[in-house]
């Protein structure tokens, strides 16, 4: 019972499960206690840090008996950063718990416990996989007596600790592409040398706010976006020359202007300072022109695995018209266009659609077209115009689909749907709605696109079975 617990109190806890967000779960007299960095099978001494009516949270004070699934995380800042949640659990167990998360979401949130969920597909290499990083530039005073006469602050680069604006210094991220790490390390060195003022979110003063690095797995090249509060950088040529010498694979540097006191990383204006303003990635023979701000799957290796599942689930014969909603730069649409009669892609982002058109030309794809605009507006218009499709791919952001979008898909009587999702909770919700609209979910394949984090990608295969009684 909650009344037997108190803030700051310590107790012995047996951990038996993981929650969807990666926290471990234990119980005290059937009262749930969540523990970050716990592992199923652990016996822990924990200290209560939060007490609510229906649950408590605690931190680990001492590991009394470690689980056989517990491993030593290789990252030196793992317990401070918060970017990963599962490095302390062996990789096979991570995959097991992600599969279980999908099953639990279907059963508890949508009543679809009968749906076949395949074991989560592993990545061949679960390290250094992310092709994009957004890092915070922060500042700290020099140590007493160290360059006191010439400088007041030393810039450093890091990530926000989970649930805070405290920046954790990062020298290397073990899930980031190695060239992205090199770009950030070199940028920190030149920022320290040039002593550009770091942005202070408290009063809006300073210059440098964030660094965004993107890389191409197929070429090994990278580009850097410097996010600043002012439209000009001092000593910019010295800055560029240093980066070019230190990171030969860096092919372009851009300046993004964000003068607003906001948590949003990127502003609306981006200018090229040097080199090229995009990267080219290649996956299973498809080439992609990727702009700094456009969405592209962060795990290039994982995208290839996703293609294999998509090919199996779509089972295209060459006669089908395919609709790709939330298509981004066309990564799924252009793959499907190889076997479909035609593909139509829709995305709200104008820059992403521009990249999709470029990618279509880059791959000499003549049977794919793309439209920019909100799915919620364009899909009903397609329905009114009499456009019909044999397959629809739905790959929405984490919040899932608008209910009117799902209703419109059902009105269009599209025989087959494939729902791609990075959020099992909203996936389950939307599959439950689609079940009420006459669609049956046959199977789901989880993919470990985000190793060592609690996130999991899912691909669901549905067919129209019609409404009962109609």
Average pLDDT over residues 312-325: 97
Spell 58-84 as b/e; 16+ CB within 10 A means b: bebeeeeeebebbeebebebbebbbbb
Query: How far, in Å, CA of 216 to CA of 188, rounded?
Result: 22
Give yes or no on whether 2-70 and 95-125+299-464 have one common fold: no
pLDDT of 1 over the 80 cut: no
pLDDT of residue 165: 80
Is 75 assigned a catalytic role? no
CB 280 within 8 A of CB 219: yes
DSSP code string of 39-92: -TT-EEEEEEEEE-SSEEEEEEEEEEE--TTB---S-TTHHHH-S-S-TTB-HH
Query: How far, in Å, CA of 351 to CA of 335, rounded?
Result: 20
Q: Which of the residues 75, 173, 422, 458 is marked catalytic?
A: 422
Q: Copy the structure tokens of residue 390.
A: 């044999």
Say how many C-beta atoms besides its own lie within 10 A of residue 249's C-beta.
Answer: 14
Q: If pLDDT is split at 50, 70 and 90, which confidence band does 351 have? A: confident
Q: Give per-residue pLDDT as tens, 390-407.
A: 999 999 999 999 999 999
Q: Give per-residue pLDDT as tens, 263-275.
A: 889 998 999 999 9
Nearest partner of 434 among 413, 450, 451, 457, judged by Cα: 413
What number of CA atoms fall less than 13 Å from residue 53's CA on the CB side? 0
pLDDT of 283 over the 90 cut: yes
Q: Copy the structure tokens of residue 163.
A: 């649930």
SS3 405: helix
Average pLDDT over residues 197-214: 90
Average pLDDT over residues 350-362: 93
Query: How far, in Å, CA of 106 to CA of 419, rounded?
Result: 14
pLDDT of 193 over the 80 cut: yes
Q: Give per-residue pLDDT as tens, 21-80.
A: 999 999 998 899 999 999 999 999 999 999 998 999 999 999 999 999 999 999 999 999
Average pLDDT over residues 204-210: 91
Query: How far, in Å, CA of 75 to CA of 158, rounded?
Result: 14
Average pLDDT over residues 94-107: 96
H or E stretch covering 93 = helix 91-110
Nearest partner of 338 among 362, 368, 361, 359, judged by Cα: 368
Q: Would you kindly state where each structural domain of the chain is located, as residue ranges?
A: 2-70, 95-125+299-464, 132-283
Say how many C-beta atoms besides its own lie within 10 A of residue 229's C-beta.
Answer: 21
pLDDT of 152 over the 90 cut: no
SS3 226: strand
CB 159 within 8 A of CB 194: no
Q: Give per-residue pLDDT as tens, 113-139.
A: 999 999 999 999 999 999 999 999 998
Query: How far, in Å, CA of 281 to CA of 218, rounded?
Result: 6
Task: Determine what percent of the chain is predicted with pLDDT higher than 70.
Answer: 96
Cα angle 307, 379, 306; round to 5: 10
H or E stretch covering 31 = strand 31-35
Looking at domain 95-125+299-464, its CATH class is alpha beta
Out of 6-10, 258-262, 292-296, 311-315, pick the least confident: 292-296
Query: How far, in Å, CA of 260 to CA of 413, rounded?
Result: 45
Task: Determine what percent of the chain is predicted with pLDDT higher than 90.
Answer: 84
pLDDT of 331 over the 60 cut: yes
Nearest partner of 398 among 446, 469, 456, judged by Cα: 456
CB 225 within 8 A of CB 278: no
Q: Give per-residue pLDDT as tens, 442-464.
A: 999 999 999 999 999 999 999 99
pLDDT of residue 153: 65
Cα of first residue to Cα of last residue in the chain, in angstroms, is: 49
pLDDT of 145 over the 70 cut: no
What number of CA atoms fall less than 13 Å from residue 468's CA on the CB side? 3
pLDDT of residue 469: 47
pLDDT of 140 over the 90 cut: no
CATH topology for 2-70 is OB fold (Dihydrolipoamide Acetyltransferase, E2P) (2.40.50)
Query: How far, in Å, CA of 379 to CA of 409, rounded?
Result: 8
pTM score, whole prediction: 0.92
Query: How far, in Å, CA of 404 to CA of 85, rounded?
Result: 34
Query: How far, in Å, CA of 316 to CA of 391, rounded?
Result: 9
Q: In the chain, count of helices (H) and strands (E)? A: 10, 22
Tell me the chain's radius of gyration from C-alpha atoms: 24
pLDDT of residue 103: 97
Q: If pLDDT is split at 50, 70 and 90, which confidence band does 144 have? A: low
Q: Give per-residue pLDDT as tens, 214-251.
A: 999 999 999 999 999 999 999 999 999 999 999 999 99
* Beta pairing class for 457-464 and 439-447: antiparallel
CATH topology for 132-283 is OB fold (Dihydrolipoamide Acetyltransferase, E2P) (2.40.50)
């Amino acid at each position: 019972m909650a009344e037997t617990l108190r803030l700051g109190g310590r107790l012995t806890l047996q951990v038996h499960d993981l929650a969807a967000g990666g926290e471990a779960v234990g119980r005290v007299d059937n009262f749930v206690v969540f523990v970050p960095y716990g592992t199923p099978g652990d016996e822990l001494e924990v200290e209560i840090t939060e007490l609510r009516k229906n649950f408590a949270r605690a931190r680990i004070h001492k590991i009394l008996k470690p689980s056989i699934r517990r491993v030593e995380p290789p990252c030196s800042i793992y317990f401070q950063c918060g970017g990963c949640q599962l490095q302390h659990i062996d990789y096979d167990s991570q995959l097991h718990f992600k599969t279980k998360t999908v099953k639990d979401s279907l059963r508890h949130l949508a009543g679809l416990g009968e749906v076949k969920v395949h074991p989560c597909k592993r990545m061949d290499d679960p390290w250094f996989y992310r092709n994009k990083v957004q890092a915070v530039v922060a500042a700290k005073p020099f140590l007493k007596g160290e360059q006191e006469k010439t400088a007041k602050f030393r810039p450093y680069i890091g990530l926000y600790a989970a649930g805070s604006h405290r920046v954790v210094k990062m020298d290397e991220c073990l899930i980031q592409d190695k060239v992205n790490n090199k770009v950030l390390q070199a940028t920190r060195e030149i920022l320290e040398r040039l002593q550009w003022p770091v942005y202070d979110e408290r009063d809006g003063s300073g210059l440098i706010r964030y660094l965004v690095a993107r890389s191409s797995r197929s070429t090994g090249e990278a580009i850097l976006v410097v996010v600043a509060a002012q439209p000009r950088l001092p000593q910019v040529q010295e800055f560029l020359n240093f980066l070019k010498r230190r990171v030969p694979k860096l092919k372009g540097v851009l300046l993004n202007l964000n003068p607003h006191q906001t948590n949003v990383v990127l502003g609306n204006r981006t200018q090229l300072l040097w080199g090229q303003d995009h990267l080219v990635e290649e996956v299973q023979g498809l080439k992609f022109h990727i702009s700094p701000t456009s969405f592209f799957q962060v795990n290039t290796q994982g995208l290839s695995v996703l293609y294999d599942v998509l090919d199996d689930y779509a089972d295209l014969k060459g006669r089908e018209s395919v609709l790709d909603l939330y298509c981004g730069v066309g990564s799924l649409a252009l793959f499907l266009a190889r076997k479909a009669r035609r593909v139509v892609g829709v995305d709200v982002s104008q820059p992403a659609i521009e990249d999709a058109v470029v990618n279509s030309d880059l791959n000499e794809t003549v049977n794919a077209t793309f439209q920019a605009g909100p799915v919620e507006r364009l899909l009903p218009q397609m329905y009114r115009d009499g456009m019909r499709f044999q397959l629809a791919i739905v790959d929405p952001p984490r919040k899932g689909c608008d209910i009117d979008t799902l209703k419109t898909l059902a009105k269009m009587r599209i025989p087959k749907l494939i729902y791609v999702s990075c959020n099992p909770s909203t996936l389950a919700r939307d599959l439950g709605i689609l079940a009420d609209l006459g669609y049956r979910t046959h199977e789901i394949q989880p993919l470990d696109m985000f190793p060592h984090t609690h996130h999991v990608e899912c691909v669901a295969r549905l067919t129209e079975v019609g409404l009962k009684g109609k």
